[in-house]
């Protein structure tokens, strides 16, 4: 399913309304959450719905897609900090229901397995929010990531490091590895909502929706899932 809205804010509002409906329908929903520039507007609208309409997150459980290895939860560029600042600190979600990979895990390999177990123990992800990279990555699953990959330690590509350098003082400060849910983990979500905005994402979106299904463009593997919604602005919907 594809929805293309005129602009980023309308698309973010649309995504937030869709997530809000899912939360109202199942107050104990398990949400998979994403970081990056793209979902910020959606979080803003969810915060507005919480504040103005009493959207209740008290029973909601969340699992974030990924975290940089080497950044602690209080590092300003960590995804932990991002999520607190852009969402968690502004809604009534309980701290004990929030899960993000721990970038300082002493044994990241064992930790990754435990993260998978925690998702399974929670009953699996009901709705997974996703962005997409210019190279088709979803979470930090870069091109070549196997379709059945699970949460694991991944190397970031030079392209991703360069794109994410805008959030750091210099490109040298961007971690080179991360803990990321795998493609298989993402495909296990019952429902997937992918957001993409701006002309620079248009080609990646088109390949994801209509290109060959290949690990060379990880988002194309979403074509094997039967409940994926693409929410785009006009620029991302046009090639």
**The pairing of beta strand 152-155 with beta strand 228-233:** unpaired
Query: Which own/partner contact pairs does 115-121 have at CB distance under 8 Å and 24+ positions apart?
Result: 115/63, 115/151, 115/179, 115/181, 116/150, 116/151, 116/185, 118/63, 119/30, 119/63, 119/151, 119/185
Is 66 an annotated catalytic residue? yes
135 in catalytic set: yes
How far is it, in rounded angstroms, from Cα 77 to Cα 24? 32
Catalytic residue among 102, 142, 188, 233: 142
- Looking at residue 128, the DSSP 8-state letter turns out to be E
36 contacts ligand PGA (rule: CB under 6 A): yes
CB atoms within 10 A of CB 50: 19
| Residue where the block lists tokens 């699992």 | 63
According to CB under 6 A, which one of 132, 156, 174, 178 is a site residue for ligand PGA? 132
Exactly one of 12, 23, 32, 38 binds ligand PGA (CB under 6 A); that residue is 38
What is the nearest approach in angstroms of ligand PGA to the Cβ of residue 36? Answer: 3
Pick the catalytic residue from 135, 159, 203, 225. 135
Which of 131, 136, 175, 218 is in the footprint of ligand PGA by CB under 6 A?
131
- Considering only residues 41, 101, 108, 133, which one is a binding residue for ligand PGA as defined by CB under 6 A? 133
Residue placing its CB nearer to ligand PGA in the complex, 37 or 53: 37
Footprint of ligand PGA (CB under 6 A): 36-38, 131-133
């Amino acid at each position: 399913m594809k929805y293309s809205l005129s602009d980023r804010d309308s698309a973010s509002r649309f995504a937030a309304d869709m997530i809000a409906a899912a939360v109202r329908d199942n107050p104990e929903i398990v949400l998979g959450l994403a970081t990056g520039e793209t979902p910020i507007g959606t979080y803003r609208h969810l915060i507005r719905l919480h504040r103005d309409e009493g959207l209740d997150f008290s029973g909601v459980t969340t699992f974030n897609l990924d975290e940089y290895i080497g950044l602690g939860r209080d590092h300003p560029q960590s995804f932990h900090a991002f999520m607190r600042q852009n969402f968690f600190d502004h809604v009534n979600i309980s701290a004990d229901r929030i899960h993000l990979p721990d970038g300082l895990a002493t044994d990241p390999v064992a930790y990754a397995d435990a993260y998978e177990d925690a998702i399974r123990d929670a009953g699996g992800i009901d709705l997974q929010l996703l962005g997409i990279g210019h190279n088709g990555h979803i979470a930090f699953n870069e091109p070549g990531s196997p379709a059945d990959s699970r949460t694991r330690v991944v190397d970031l590509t030079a392209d991703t490091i360069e794109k994410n350098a805008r959030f750091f003082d210099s490109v040298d400060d961007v971690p080179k590895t991360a803990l990321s849910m795998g493609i298989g983990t993402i495909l296990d979500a019952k429902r997937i909502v992918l957001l993409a905005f701006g002309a620079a994402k248009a080609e990646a979106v088109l390949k994801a929706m209509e290109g060959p299904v290949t690990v060379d463009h990880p988002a194309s593997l979403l074509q094997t899932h039967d409940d994926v919604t693409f929410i785009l602005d006009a620029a991302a919907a046009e090639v």
